[in-house]
């Protein structure tokens, strides 16, 4: 497939070209890596902002309000809304579109809903490439709203410059449960639905958690109160995002973050290639059937069997 027209369209700000490029990448269409490889060379300008947290905290409404305010402030904005997907069809309900009414109606804000495709970390493997496409298109800020599955959903830190963890009043026990996971990836904490009772208590719980031994060495992380429904606290959040972006650019922190992102993307891609190679070269071989039967018959344990297969694999490759 020839991608030169699509690439030029993305670079020149053609939204139809961007939408087509995203579809190609999301569906892993033939030779999509050629498109990704060529477009990657022009990326690296946008502020990538991840928004995560448990279901019911109002993430979608918050993203909608933040996007609208950033756009009114003169920023060009794109949103990636990741919805839970069916384990059978991999399709998504795309409910986030319903809750982002302002952004959906605003032609200046590009919204793309995609399915998580069953990924444990809440991100499908195409998200990184979609971010690159939006970056090259010229968006100043790319907002990524993750599924919201709790503690396991920490992969967003491997893609975003700034990670916002959203919670809401009444989730005190859940906050404690998340202490060693999702809570530790935040650059900004937001207690949304602050018009509800106990919002201050929830904010204080987070502040106290930040002083525990596990996170005491981290820099001070702002804890903000917002009510997306009543449009309160949004300007303060925008201000903190701008301060964060300026700070990481001036201090060199951005380079460290992007180096970590590159390491993550490279290692994940290698894992995928190795697993595919193992499936094709080992799992379909006669030796696999033999050693699998030994494991079933409890003549060898699975770890020793894997070590045996891997050693034989390395020897085979060395002899080639």
Per-residue pLDDT of 284-309, as tens digits, reads 777 788 888 999 999 999 999 988 88
CB 257 within 8 A of CB 161: yes
Please choose, from the candidates 200, 197, 175, the residue with its C-alpha nearest in 3D space to the C-alpha of residue 186.
175
Q: Which single residue is written with the structure tokens 């525990």?
A: 212
Of 6-10, 131-135, 181-185, 186-190, the one with minimum mean pLDDT is 181-185
Q: What does the pLDDT average to over 58-73?
A: 94
Beta-bridge mates of residue 225: 191
Please choose, from the candidates 94, 126, 123, the residue with its C-alpha nearest in 3D space to the C-alpha of residue 111.
94
Query: Given this model, what pLDDT does residue 248 score?
Result: 97
Helix (H, G, I), strand (E, B) or coil at 135: helix
Q: Could you tell me the end-to-end alpha-carbon distance of the chain, in angstroms, rounded to an integer? A: 34
Looking only at the bridges linking them, the beta strands covering 141-145 and 77-83 are: parallel
* pTM, two decimal places: 0.86
Dihedral sign of CA atoms 241, 68, 147, 138 in order: negative
Sheet containing strand 223-225, strands side by side = 109-115, 77-83, 141-145, 47-53, 162-167, 188-191, 223-225
pLDDT per position as a tens digit, 247-271: 999 999 999 999 999 999 999 889 8
Distances (CA, A) of 98 to 101, 108, 249, 260: 6, 18, 35, 34
Please choose, from the candidates 154, 210, 228, the residue with its C-alpha nearest in 3D space to the C-alpha of residue 185.
154
Give burial (CB, 10 Å; 0-12/13-18/19+) of 148. Answer: buried
Q: Crossing angle for the helix pair 32-40 and 4-11, nearest 10 degrees?
A: 40
Tell me the two tokens of residue 77.
């904005």
Of 82-86, 90-94, 287-291, 292-296, the one with minimum mean pLDDT is 90-94
CB 158 within 8 A of CB 261: yes
Secondary structure of 173-184 in HEC code, one letter for each residue: HHHHHCCCCHHH
Query: Given this model, what pLDDT does residue 204 score?
Result: 86
pLDDT at 151 over 60: no
Give burial (CB, 10 Å; 0-12/13-18/19+) of 246. Answer: exposed
DSSP 83: E
Task: Count the Cβ atoms, other than its own, within 10 Å of residue 119.
Answer: 17
CB 281 within 8 A of CB 275: no
């Amino acid at each position: 497939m020839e991608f030169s027209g699509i690439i030029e369209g993305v670079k020149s700000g053609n939204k139809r070209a961007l939408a087509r490029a995203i579809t190609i990448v999301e569906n892993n269409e033939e030779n999509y890596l050629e498109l990704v490889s060529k477009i990657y060379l022009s990326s690296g300008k946008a502020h990538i902002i991840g928004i995560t947290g448990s279901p019911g905290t109002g993430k979608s409404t918050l993203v909608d309000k933040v996007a609208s305010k950033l756009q009114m402030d003169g920023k060009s904005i794109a949103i990636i809304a990741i919805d839970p997907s069916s384990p059978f069809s991999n399709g998504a309900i795309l409910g986030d579109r319903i809750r982002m009414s302002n952004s959906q109606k605003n032609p200046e804000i590009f919204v793309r809903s995609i399915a998580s495709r069953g990924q444990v970390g809440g991100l499908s493997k195409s998200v990184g490439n979609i971010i690159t496409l939006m970056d090259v298109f010229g968006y100043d800020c790319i907002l990524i709203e993750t599924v919201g599955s709790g503690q396991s959903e920490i992969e967003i830190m491997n893609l975003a410059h700034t990670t916002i963890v959203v919670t809401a009043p009444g989730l005190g026990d859940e906050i404690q449960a998340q202490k060693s996971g999702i809570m530790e990836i935040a650059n900004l904490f937001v207690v949304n639905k602050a018009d509800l009772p106990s919002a201050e208590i929830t904010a204080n719980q987070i502040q106290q958690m930040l002083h525990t031994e596990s996170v005491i060495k981290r820099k001070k992380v702002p804890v903000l109160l917002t009510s997306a429904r009543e449009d309160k606290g949004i300007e303060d959040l925008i201000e903190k995002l701008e301060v964060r972006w300026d700070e990481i650019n001036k201090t060199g922190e951005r380079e460290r973050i992007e180096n970590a992102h590159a390491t993550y993307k490279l290692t994940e891609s290698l894992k995928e290639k190795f697993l595919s190679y193992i499936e094709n070269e080992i799992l379909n071989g006669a030796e696999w059937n033999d050693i699998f039967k030994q494991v079933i018959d409890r003549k060898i344990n699975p770890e020793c069997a894997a070590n045996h297969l891997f050693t034989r694999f390395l020897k085979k490759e060395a002899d080639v």
